[in-house]
Each structure stands twice: as C-alpha cells, then as structure tokens.
A and B are shown apart, each in its own frame.
Chain A
C-alpha cells in the first residue's frame, strides 16, 4: 500500500463539476470541457503532488457543489479565489496543465499532439527583403566607433 494521499469517493464525485466550472466546453469552438479529458490518468502519473491541494479545494467547496447551477458554481469558485488566492492559483495551474496536455486539445489549438520533441515545428524564414530599408539607411544606423 502506498502512502500517497488519494481523493476519497465523495471528493471524486465533485471533481467533474469543479473541472467543468474552470474550463467549460465550447460547442462553437469545438473545445471539450476539462471534465472530459483524462484527469484521473493525469493525477495518477503527474499530478500526485496536487492531491492535497485538490482535497483542500473540494473540502472547502462542500458536498453540495455538484448540485449547484453553472452560475452558482462559478460564484462559489470566485469566492474561493478572492479568499484563498494561492490555493486557487495552484488549482488553476493543475487543471490547465492537465487540459492543455490532452492530445485532442493540443491539436485544436494548433500544437503537435504529444511532446514537441522530436517532431518539432515548421517556422517560415520570413521575408528578409524587409531588411532593405535598414541597409539603405545604413549610415543612420552606423555603430559608434570609439575615438
């Protein structure tokens, strides 16, 4: 048995509502909600350190959080943000970290699916004829020679 802290059942039951409040889905942009990406796998592999923080957040939100309307959940989290900004920032960092690693999310925002190495990116050289005015005006840009 590992001694790593884990979320209990009632905490787990609140998670989707919390994740969905922070990053809701957007039909227009075809973006999933944070509750739709694999947060469990993230917690198991990279997010273990975040469990005590999540426990503190979920405990402070209380068991009724999942039953609130979307606007009420937003208001409740805003309250947490104003009362405990450090805790709230850690929560955001954790949720965004998981969300923006999801391969489908990454592709939608224009990134490579997985780790950027070894695939890499293509970047256009850019139009070097833009240098012409600098070259034509070189005397105005000449370095200052010491006496």
Chain B
C-alpha cells in the first residue's frame, strides 16, 4: 500500500474528523480516515442489559485507564488535578458524550478585547454562524429558538422534554429572576432523517442503544462513507512524516495485528482531540522539527484547557422521576456567564441541569455521603433519594496557561509502543474562585426550587471531557500553531480541526464549536484548493 497516495488523510474519526470528512467529500477527492478504534455495535451498549450501571462503571467507563480496551491508549494523569476522559472508536468521544450542545458565545471569541485576559480568536462567532447551523442540521439538534443569551438561532427539532426536574429548577430560577433556557441537545426529540427519536432511557453517557443521541458514527459517518470516504478502523497512527520539501507526505501507523504500515497523502488533517493530536505531533520528530512537528512556536501541547467542573445536588421531597431522560440534557442557565468585576474573578460559567442517577448509583453515592445506609433504614433513605434528586453542573471557563501541558511520557506506552500522553495541569486561582461562586449560586437555586437537602462539590477530578488549546489558532506564527483556518504555520499541507485549536475555552461544552470549526476549516480548504501550498 506504500505507493497508494490519498488526496486527504484524516487521523481520528470523532466529532471533528467526521465533520471534516463529510464536508470535504463533496470535492470527490480521495479521502482516507484512519481511526484506532472500532465501529461500536449499538446492541453492545449497556442499556440493553439490566446491569447497565455496572457496565458503565467498568467496560464502558469514561476513563480510558479504567476501561483499558485494546483500542484505548493509556494517559498519565498523575501530575494533573483533572483526569482525561474520552472514547476511542468511530464517533470518538461523541459515543459517550452527554450531548449537551451549547455553542460558544460571541464574547468567548474576544476575551482579550473585552476582559483583558488571554487572547482573542482570529475568527469570531459570525464567521462560524453558518457552520453552527449546518452542524445542527447534520447532527440533529433539539432546542427552542429565542434564547436572549445568543444571537438568533433555530434548532431543527423541538426541545427535549424537561420533565419534572427541569420544571422544578426552572421555578427556582424564576423565583430568583435569573436566566434559564431549555438546553440545545444533540439528541433527536422527534424522528429525524432515518433515525428514531430519543426514548428517554437516561444513561446517554454509556452509549445510546436507540440511536436517539447524535454521535457521529450515526450522523456524519454513514453520509461521508456514502459520499466515498474510506474509513479504516483499527489503524493507530504513530507519526506524521515529511518529504524533502518539508511538506507532510503521510503517516506511519499500526494495523490491528501490530504491523507497521504506511499511508501516503497530499494533505494530512489531525482530528485526534486536544490530547491525541499534540501527542502525535510531538511524536513526529525529524531534523526539521526536533521538538515535534509543526512546533516551531514551541506551543504544541501547551495551554491545555479542560473547563473547571463541579456540581450541586438537591434532594426534593416530591418525586422528580429524575432517572428518566437524557442525563446531561435538560435546561441551563447563563446568568453568570459574563465577567462581573465585583465577583473577584474574570469570565464565567454555564449552569447545566443534570438529571438523577440509577438505583445503583443512588445507593453507592448515598453510602459514600452517608445519606443512604445499608441495613436498617436502607429502604426509607433510598426512597428519599432515588428519583428525588436534581443536580446542577457548573462548567466554568478555563483560561489558557502555558504550564498546563500534554507531553510525551518517558516510560508509559500504548500496546503498539507509542509513547502515552502525560498531563501536567493545575487549576488557576481564577478557576477556583469561579467554581466557588458557581457552587454557592447553584445552592441558592436549589433552595429557591425547594430542595430539602443541598450538597456541592468541585472541582471534580474525572472531568477532563473537554480537551482544548494544545495547538492554538492565531495569526502570529510565534504565538500560535495553526492559522485562522486551521493550517499549520510551519507545514502548509498539515491541518488541525479538533479542540486543540481553541484559543480560549468559553464556559460551555465544546463539541458544537469543535464541529463548527471543522466544517469552517473544510470550507476554507475547498476555497483555497488551487493555492493551498503557496
């Protein structure tokens, strides 16, 4: 296969890889995508079994170090206050994501101009607006138009039912006069294209058996493959290689049996996420790039951002049916999204209302907190908690700091011997103050909504689901890795389309913006095809 040259080679078949593949496919170029994981069979998801909760804690764990599948790579989180979570397979982390689907706000792209911190993005909300809309249509997004916290937008499907959890907390927000709105959700509330609607099973974060959740293995990929994209699974890329002109000319990868293979290409696109992409770039060393490919700025792997995450839980006297319905998609509040100097920190956070746990989660969490004893009194205490809780996730903006990094671990390797990523990460004082504020305001909402008991915790460690900043976008090659349309400043036929390119994190979940960026970069590639290498 070594003299087989693809026009475009995409590495990673997750949220961004799928979007860029689908969009580029209309050019009829020969597009190959290499993905280290497999297609997931929906009948393998835990909700097909009564013991779905145990499976979600074990073989379907969101932490790859616990899951430990052959298709996963280990991640050294020892020097990090936050542990990375992900999924490796067709669909990438969207296979396990919560599908809460807010866009970054207009202000998020301009935090330097507005608040004097970090940097502005070289692009803005208006640049991405058509791509957000296209992505909403492609993924199948449910929501309701009119949220004053955004410029006008119109989700293609009506909102996911907010149920008693949403209603109860909405009353709390109204009592306080605070903003709230039904979440934009990458979950289909009605049949859409060839997919049937969400069945309100609950545990979307261990995979959706129904296909109601818009993971890219069932949205973009079937259409991209139909358009002629070749998606090759169980292919784990070790490094991107260069030709004598200093252009990327392909990759070296390992197939399912550990054989070393080569795929040549005219254009290489990295879509391995904010940890996987810097890992492979740093591992692609050459005499031209002794510190890793596309790394003349020295910024590959630096400025890692997660989002600081904590939660507030309320227990209510009345039954809320909280185990029913998509756990991460209900309503949200942006009351504290923007900077207010009086609060003692800059930027802000999203309050994401989260539904309740299943019975095993309720009993075990109750054991840990002391709220649900084993033995005498178990049933009474269990009944007070199960289906009687609601939670608020506090998702706060994490500003970029160069000392938060992805590097190559000197010892740990994956099953093919490729160095594992090592995460070095510490929450800033700003993040911790923001979190404290969020937890206190969350408690206020719970009380206003009538919660009998309220507890809160944050930052929470296994919350590294949003991986951003490690190959940042910018106009200046000295302070950024890729330009305003995702092209490496150093290697003209190398692109990055995943969360690595984020300049700042915003205070909302990032999948929608990652995909809008990927579609925008694909369009930029199409527009510049004739002068791509100038």
Contacts and interface: CB of A to CB of B under 8 A. Distances in A.
Q: Name the prevailing secondary structure of the B interface residues.
A: loop
A29 B363 contact: no
A47 B50 CA distance: 13
B114 A147 contact: yes
A130 interface: yes
B210 to A, nearest CB: 6
A29 B379 contact: yes
Nearest to B324: A121
Contacts of A23: 374-375, 378-379
A126 B167 contact: yes
Interface in B115-168: 124, 144, 146, 148-151, 159, 161-164, 166-167
A74 B377 CA distance: 12
Interface in B317-345: 319, 321, 323-325, 334-335, 338
A38 B171 CA distance: 43
B168 to A, nearest CB: 9
B498 interface: no
Given A123-B324, A123-B325, A115 B107 contact: no
A64 interface: no
Nearest to A126: B162
B226 interface: no
Given A96-B359, A96-B360, A130-B167, A101 B114 contact: no
Question: Which of A110, A123, A125, A139: most chain B Cβ within 10 A?
Answer: A123
Interface string B176-202: 010111100000000000000001111
Interface in A84-119: 89, 92-93, 96-97, 100-101, 106, 109-111, 114-119
A141 B181 CA distance: 11
Interface string B381-401: 011001100000000000000
B374 A22 contact: yes
A1 interface: no
Contacts of A101: 50-51
Please indicate which of the listed interface residues B114, B379, B383 has the most CB atoms of chain A within 10 Å of its own CB: B379
Nearest to A97: B54
Contact of B107 (A96, A120, A124, A146): A146
Q: Which 7 A-B pairs have the closest CB atoms?
A: A120-B199, A126-B162, A100-B359, A146-B110, A121-B324, A138-B148, A117-B209
11 contacts: A26-B379, A116-B202, A116-B203, A117-B45, A128-B159, A130-B167, A130-B170, A135-B146, A141-B149, A142-B148, A146-B110
Interface of A: 21-24, 26, 29, 31, 46, 70, 74, 77, 89, 92-93, 96-97, 100-101, 106, 109-111, 114-128, 130-131, 133-135, 137-139, 141-147
Given A96-B360, A110-B319, A114-B50, 14 more contacts: A24-B375, A24-B376, A77-B375, A89-B367, A93-B54, A109-B359, A111-B323, A115-B50, A120-B210, A123-B200, A123-B325, A125-B159, A135-B148, A144-B105
